[in-house]
Each structure stands twice: as C-alpha cells, then as structure tokens.
Amino acid sequence: MEPISQTAPILPGRPVLQQFWADVTFLHWRVDASVVAPLLPPGIVPDVFGGSSWVGLIPFRMIGSAFFGGPPVPYFGTFTEVNVRLYGVDEFGRRGVVFASLEASRLVAVVAARAAFGLPYFWASANFGRDGQDYRYESRRIGRDGPTTRIVSRASALPVADDPLADFLTARWRLFVGRGGNTAVQANQHGAWPLVSAELLDLDDNLLAAAGLPGLADRPPDSTLFSPGVLTQFSGARPLVEPVRKNLPLLGGATAPGRVVGDTGLEPMTSSV
C-alpha cells in the first residue's frame, strides 16, 4: 500500500492544468466501506482509516485556472466550487480521490471539465462570502429541483500538524475517473496543506444525498478542517495500469525490478507553496 505523505511525487509528464484552491473547508463523515464501494469506478476499492471509509463535502474558491503553462483564464477560470468526494485505492496500492459530484458556477468550466477529463461537474449558482473567520458557501444546481447546499464554517487559529487523519483526508496525489466502463488516473501535486481546525456553524445540504449518500448531512461531520489554500498542478489523465519505473538502487547496491506494484517510483517534489 502506498504510504500517506504530505510530500507530493513529481508529476508524470507535463502539467496540463494549474489552479489555486482558496478558502477551503473540509467536512468529512465516517461511513462503512460497503456504502462507498458501489460508487467507485472499476478497479477502485474504498480506502479506509480507523476502520471506516470517509466522505467529504468540500467547498472552496477556484482561482486562476491556467492550461498548458499559459496565463490564468480571466473570469471563466475563477469561481466557487463544492465537491462531494470519496477515497479509493487501485489494485496496485495507489491512493486517490474519486469525485461523486462537483458543483461549479461557470458553465464553460463545467463543459470543459466533463469533455476533457470526464469529471461529473454540474453547473450551479454558487457563491462565497466571508465575515472575519466565518466562511459561507452556497450552491444550487441549475435545473428543476437541483440539489442545494449551504455551509458556514469558522476557522480557528489552531494549526493542525502531524495528524494522521488530516493527512489521510488531504494528502492525495491523484484522482480516479470512470469513463465508459474504464478507469483513468490523473496525478496532481501541490505543497503541504496549511491546515487549521474549524467549526461547522451551519449546514443545510442535499448534495450528499443526490450523490447516493443519504442521511450524512443529518449528523455532524466527524472531521472539520480549514485551509487558506494551495497552488495545484495536474498532469493529463492516463489509463489505470500498473506503474512502471526505471531501475532504482536498493539498499546494499541491488537494483529494483522495472515493474513494482504499489509504488509510483517517482521522486518527491521539493518545492512547496
């Protein structure tokens, strides 16, 4: 199994997308792995921490999306987003995120993300507000009876560090996407999340239920965190296949085989944001 680490591996290839994720609230609930398993794409099983799988409801501001090293896209590259996400492992032990849904307030971004990456984006009327350390996110999916969410969180000044659960939920270096009965993997990298503890002040949500996870919003989350944000880069999507790496030295001077299950074989990323 791939170890959990705040240090991202270097992207396997040229970055195709760069974004700044700002004012991020992480709400997470424990769930039984059997609840999550049917929602994952082929070849992915639930990742488990503390005997449970986890479901995240994560609102934030997307700022300055840029493609293939170009400048940030004005207007259309900045918007409010709300994600429902799950955590999975592929058959080679690689950990990643699976998005059950993504709400975004820019139709162009929704269409592009669906077409280019196969992500389950939905066009929504979504907005963000801040009052001191209180952060408010609201979203309504466009369309008749579209699911909605209202989240109000309060960030503390208490840093969260050396927390195994926080690392499990936030130190994720790839996403898995199901398309046409197959699964693709897309790598990402960023500096370690600057996290603080947070308090949930208000939650009125049915995005979780719309994603196939009814009842979660009726109880308090088991983890609430906040981050001012990170600058993130993504590589292009690739088929879900066993990772291949060049021979690397082992302790004692031996060499590793070319195909290693459960290890990306990538050097750690040295820069941070």
Given a contact cutoff of 8 angstroms between Cβ atoms, the answer to whether 54 and 28 are in contact is yes
More confident residue, 40 or 113: 40
pLDDT of 26 over the 80 cut: yes
More confident residue, 187 or 118: 187
Given a contact cutoff of 8 angstroms between Cβ atoms, the answer to whether 245 and 9 are in contact is no
Looking at residue 244, its pLDDT comes to 54
Question: Where residue 70 falls among pLDDT bands split at 50, 70, 90?
Answer: confident
Cross-strand partners of 63: 20
Instruction: Express the helix, strand and coil content of the chain in percent, nearest 5 each.
Output: 15, 50, 40
CA angle 75, 12, 90 (to 5 degrees): 100
pTM: 0.86
Looking at residue 76, its pLDDT comes to 65
DSSP H or E segment with residue 255 = none
pLDDT of 266 over the 80 cut: no
DSSP state, 52? B
Question: Where residue 239 falls among pLDDT bands split at 50, 70, 90?
Answer: confident
Given a contact cutoff of 8 angstroms between Cβ atoms, the answer to whether 149 and 59 are in contact is yes
